């Protein structure tokens, strides 16, 4: 046992005491510490990335919100997709109307705000110019009588240009008064308030804006009506800053940055009458008013014509010899300029002839073309075929008559005149007129072969008809004294001839048809369009495409001096306002031929008709018969103011401030212009400083 006790303890070999070898480690187990080191930064990175992502999202959301009209002043830059969503992808159901350069859609922003989005047609240089003009001018006008431009969207690469306006629920005056004939506008009070709104709006543009803004295209489709039928002025596509005041314009276009435009006026421009060669101001009132029968304009022949049918100063397309613009539309969009300066630059760039804002050619041949000549030359290839447009007009009128089935004429004239059914006796009269027209038509074909000037043809047709009727002892139809009126106009001419110098004598001896034709052709001198265009009413703005600055308002409403190539001045707006006022009072278009010409021809030209009535002392005959609650004094006031505004000499027209004061009763009601008074008033309210010759 002791031996057992003494027995040495078993020897433990070092090998045995050494810790057992760890089993061979797998690779993952081996890397574990390294992974755990990586997990943290990866997680952190991911977290940072997601935070960044959130931040970006937040930023984008925030920045998008900045374009919404809540916190900053308009115009904002909207994203195209915002506007697309707002208008349900420009759905036809949302279409409010069609303008010369694009369609207008109703839309609703995510905030619930209702808007009107004008989607400009791409590729039109004129459209791009209008886009810029709107941004640079309308975007800066803050007046409750001017439609607010809320913003825009512009994608140069895709050539998308959109303008965003406040929605005007009753659309345009043209639409509400002349097309839809809204019952609300049958109230005299409403119409008078609209006239006041427009007058005050224009007064604001001319006197409060600094520099003053000249709208340049006042017409019913550019007057928009809100839900209460209050009027606001819209569409500054053809507007200009008053020449003297233009110096530098800061324009925030497309890029959202401030592009500085040097639009320095080239010397002081002359005022009003001096613009027209200085001759106007010296002209006698008689002479001037005689020539006021300018031309005009809206044609609405027959009841079957589209209600939108109206005639506007047609395109004065840039003919190759007139101007060559070498920049692409999008490049031009980059040139963030406005007004004449823009075109001055083009003229320099292109090195070609360019018609300047005042109607004179610059560069190249440096030919000076002014007044009516300018129009003729624009349209007739240099004026060599000056009769072509007139012939064309007459041909068109003839075609219109010829192409309509005779039954159509009878049906139209026999059943409806001025929208009212006519009785048996009237329908007999109309039958006779129809016969007359039929014979006229045949005559016309025969005479057309001889290729006589259109004016002669018309004159003879009328003379023949008159003498034929006299022989048969037939009085002229309609009971409205067509003969009298016709001759009356001649008589008036004869009376005035005695008083006037030889120059005006020749003018006054012209027949009524002459002024009518002069009027129409004067306004059609851009005519490259066919009659279909007229009938459809799809005639764009004066100047149309034009890379020249020859955008000159709309036929019927454009002031004669401006349409004739003169400078745009405030007095051009005054003239257009005069036409608009007559349209408001009469509830009809400025040129409208309805039913048969013999009864209605005398009234076709609203301005001449108003002048004729003024001479006869029957101004109230002009008033829309369907007006309710007529205030005769206000109506007379409106027509008288309109006649003042329509004087040919810009210097003789009142300013918009004076017009607004007269309409609101703040100043004395005006006297009729001199030639309408039986005895001339001792104090003519707006007489020229220079004495009439
Ligand atoms: N802000 C708006 N709210 C409601 N309707 C509008 C608005 N702007 C335009 N419209 C409607 O769209 C139509 C087309 O307007 P737009 O300004 O494009 O053309 P226009 O003035 O009729 O013709 P042009 O541009 O050739 O002078 C208008 O007649 C009007 O009925």
Domain count across the chain: 2
Residue 548 is assigned to a structural domain of this protein: no
Which position has the higher pLDDT, 145 or 491? 145
Establish how many alpha carbons lie within 13 A of residue 346's alpha carbon, considering only the half-sphere containing its beta carbon.
33
Question: Ligand 1 centre and the CA of 98: distance in Å?
Answer: 6
Q: Which atom of ligand 1 is nearest to the CA of 169?
A: 4
User: 676 and 572 in one domain?
Assistant: yes
Residue 229 is assigned to a structural domain of this protein: yes
Q: Which atom of ligand 1 is nearest to the CA of 101?
A: 25
Burial class (CB in 10 A: 0-12, 13-18, 19+), 431: middle
- What pLDDT score was predicted for residue 125? 76
Q: Which helix (H) or strand (E) holds 676?
A: none
User: 660 and 638 in one domain?
Assistant: yes
User: 665 and 645 in one domain?
Assistant: yes
Q: What is the CATH number of the domain that holds 587?
A: 1.10.510.10
Q: What is the CATH number of the domain that holds 139?
A: 3.30.200.20
Residue 518 is assigned to a structural domain of this protein: no
> Domain end: 115, 144, 167, which one?
167
Dihedral of alpha carbons 40, 45, 48, 50, sign? negative
Lowest mean pLDDT among 22-26, 597-601, 672-676: 22-26
For residue 96 and ligand 1, the question of a CB distance below 6 A is answered with yes
Does residue 501 carry a pLDDT above 90?
A: no
Question: Ligand 1 centre and the CA of 610: distance in Å?
Answer: 28
Residue numbers in the known binding site for ATP are 118
| pLDDT tens per residue across span 542-575 | 333 222 334 567 888 999 888 877 888 999 999 9
Residue 82 is assigned to a structural domain of this protein: yes
User: 191 and 162 in one domain?
Assistant: no
Strands 149-155 vs 76-77: parallel, antiparallel or unpaired: parallel
> Domain end: 167, 198, 226, which one?
167
For residue 238 and ligand 1, the question of a CB distance below 6 A is answered with no
The label of the residue with tokens 């009072």 reads 585
User: 189 and 162 in one domain?
Assistant: no
Range of the domain at 179: 168-241+554-680
User: 645 and 662 in one domain?
Assistant: yes
For residue 104 and ligand 1, the question of a CB distance below 6 A is answered with yes
Q: Which of 198, 202, 182 is nearest to 230 (CA)?
A: 198
**What mean pLDDT is predicted for residues 43-71?**
72
For residue 175 and ligand 1, the question of a CB distance below 6 A is answered with yes
The torsion region of residue 364 among left (phi > 0), alpha (psi -120 to 50) and beta comes to left
Range from 95-104, 230-239, 242-251 that averages highest in pLDDT: 230-239
Residue 342 is assigned to a structural domain of this protein: no
User: 158 and 188 in one domain?
Assistant: no
User: 200 and 104 in one domain?
Assistant: no
Hey, whose CA ends up nearest to atom 26 of ligand 1?
A: 100
Q: Which atom of ligand 1 is nearest to the CA of 554?
A: 27
- What pLDDT score was predicted for residue 262? 31
CB atoms closer than 10 angstroms to residue 323: 23
Q: Are the C-beta atoms of 576 and 173 separated by less than 8 Å?
A: no
The torsion region of residue 167 among left (phi > 0), alpha (psi -120 to 50) and beta comes to beta
Q: How confident is the model at residue 40 (pLDDT cuts 50, 70, 90)?
A: confident
| pLDDT tens per residue across span 571-627 | 999 999 999 999 999 999 998 766 555 556 778 889 989 998 998 889 999 999 999
User: 220 and 126 in one domain?
Assistant: no
Strands 95-99 vs 102-108: parallel, antiparallel or unpaired: antiparallel
Catalytic positions are 217
Residue 579 is assigned to a structural domain of this protein: yes
Question: Ligand 1 centre and the CA of 554: distance in Å?
Answer: 14
Detail the DSSP E strand segments found in 404-507. Answer: 416-417, 420-421
| pLDDT tens per residue across span 185-198 | 999 999 999 999 99
User: 629 and 593 in one domain?
Assistant: yes
User: 194 and 138 in one domain?
Assistant: no
For residue 378 and ligand 1, the question of a CB distance below 6 A is answered with no
Provide the mean pLDDT of the chain: 62
Hey, whose CA ends up nearest to atom 12 of ligand 1?
A: 97
Q: How confident is the model at residue 391 (pLDDT cuts 50, 70, 90)?
A: very low
> 77: which 2 tokens?
């830059």
For residue 379 and ligand 1, the question of a CB distance below 6 A is answered with no
Q: Which of 570, 529, 623, 557 is nearest to 295 (CA)?
A: 557
Does residue 458 carry a pLDDT above 90?
A: no
Residue 395 is assigned to a structural domain of this protein: no
Hey, whose CA ends up nearest to atom 15 of ligand 1?
A: 99
Q: How much is the pTM?
A: 0.55
User: 652 and 571 in one domain?
Assistant: yes
Three-state DSSP state, 77:
strand
Q: Which helix (H) or strand (E) holds 490?
A: helix 482-499
Residues 6+ apart with CB under 8 A from 408: 302, 304
> Domain end: 167, 190, 207, which one?
167
Hey, whose CA ends up nearest to atom 16 of ligand 1?
A: 99
For residue 171 and ligand 1, the question of a CB distance below 6 A is answered with yes
Residue 231 is assigned to a structural domain of this protein: yes
The best mutation among 172, 234, 555 to test binding of ligand 1, ranked by most ligand atoms within 8 Å of the C-beta, falls on 172
Question: Ligand 1 centre and the CA of 127: distance in Å?
Answer: 14
């Amino acid at each position: 046992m002791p031996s057992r006790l003494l027995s040495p303890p078993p020897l433990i070999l070092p090998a045995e005491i050494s810790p057992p070898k760890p089993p061979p480690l797998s690779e993952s187990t081996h890397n574990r510490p390294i992974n755990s080191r990586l997990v943290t930064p990866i997680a952190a990175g991911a977290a940072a990335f997601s935070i960044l992502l959130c931040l970006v999202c937040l930023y984008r959301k925030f920045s998008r919100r900045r374009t919404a009209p809540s916190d900053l002043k308009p115009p904002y830059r909207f994203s195209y997709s915002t506007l697309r969503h707002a208008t349900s992808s420009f759905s036809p159901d949302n279409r409010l109307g069609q303008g010369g350069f694009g369609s207008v859609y109703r839309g609703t922003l995510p905030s619930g705000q209702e808007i009107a989005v004008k989607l400009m047609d791409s590729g039109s240089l004129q459209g791009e110019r209008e886009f810029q003009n709107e941004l640079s001018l309308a975007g800066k006008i803050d007046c409750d009588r001017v439609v607010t431009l809320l913003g825009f969207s512009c994608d140069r690469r895709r050539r998308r240009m959109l303008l965003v306006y406040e929605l005007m629920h009753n659309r345009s005056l043209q639409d509400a008064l002349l097309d839809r004939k809204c019952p609300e506008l049958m109230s005299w009070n409403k119409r008078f308030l609209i006239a006041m709104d427009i007058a005050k709006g224009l007064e604001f543009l001319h006197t409060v804006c600094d520099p003053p803004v000249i709208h340049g295209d006042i017409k019913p489709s550019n007057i928009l009506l809100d839900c209460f039928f209050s009027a606001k002025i819209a569409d500054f596509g053809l507007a200009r800053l008053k020449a003297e005041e233009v110096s530098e314009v800061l324009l925030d276009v497309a890029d959202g940055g401030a592009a500085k435009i040097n639009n320095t006026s080239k010397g002081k421009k002359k005022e009003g009458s001096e613009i027209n060669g200085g001759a106007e101001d010296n002209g006698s009132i008689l002479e001037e008013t005689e020539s006021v029968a300018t031309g005009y304009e809206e044609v609405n022949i027959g009841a079957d014509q589209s209600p939108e049918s109206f005639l506007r100063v047609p395109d004065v397309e840039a003919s190759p010899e007139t101007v060559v613009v070498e920049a692409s539309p999008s490049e031009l969009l980059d040139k963030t300029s406005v007004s004449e300066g823009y075109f001055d630059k083009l003229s320099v760039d292109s090195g070609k002839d360019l018609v300047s804002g005042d109607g004179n050619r610059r560069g190249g041949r440096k030919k000076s073309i002014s007044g009516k000549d300018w129009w003729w030359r624009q349209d007739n290839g240099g004026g060599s075929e000056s009769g072509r447009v007139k012939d064309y007009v007459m041909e068109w009128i003839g075609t219109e008559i010829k192409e309509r089935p005779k039954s159509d004429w009878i049906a139209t004239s026999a059943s409806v005149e001025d929208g009212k059914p006519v009785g048996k006796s009237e329908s007999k009269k109309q039958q006779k007129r129809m016969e007359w027209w039929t014979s006229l038509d045949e005559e016309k074909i025969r005479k057309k072969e001889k290729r006589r000037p259109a004016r002669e043809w018309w004159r003879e047709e009328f003379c023949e008809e008159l003498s034929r009727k006299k022989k048969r002892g037939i009085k002229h139809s309609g009971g409205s004294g067509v003969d009298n009126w016709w001759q009356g106009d001649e008589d008036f001419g004869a009376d005035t001839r005695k008083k006037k110098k030889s120059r005006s004598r020749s003018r006054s001896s012209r027949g009524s048809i002459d002024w009518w034709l002069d009027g129409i052709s004067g306004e059609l001198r851009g005519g490259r369009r066919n009659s279909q265009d007229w009938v459809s009413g799809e005639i764009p703005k004066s100047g149309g495409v034009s890379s020249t600055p020859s955008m000159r308002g709309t036929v019927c409403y454009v002031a004669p001096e401006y349409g004739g190539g003169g400078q745009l001045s405030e007095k051009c707006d005054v003239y257009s306002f005069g036409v608009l006022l007559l349209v408001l009072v009469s509830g009809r278009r400025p040129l409208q031929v309805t039913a048969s010409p013999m009864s209605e021809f005398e009234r076709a030209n609203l301005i001449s008709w108003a002048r004729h009535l003024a001479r006869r002392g029957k101004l109230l005959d002009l008033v829309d018969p369907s007006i309710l609650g007529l205030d005769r004094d206000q109506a007379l006031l409106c027509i008288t103011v309109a006649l003042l505004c329509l004087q040919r000499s810009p210097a003789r027209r009142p300013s918009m401030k004076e017009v607004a004061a007269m309409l609101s009763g703040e100043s004395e009601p005006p006297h009729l212009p001199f030639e309408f008074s039986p005895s001339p008033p001792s104090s003519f309210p707006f007489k020229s400083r220079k004495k009439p010759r």
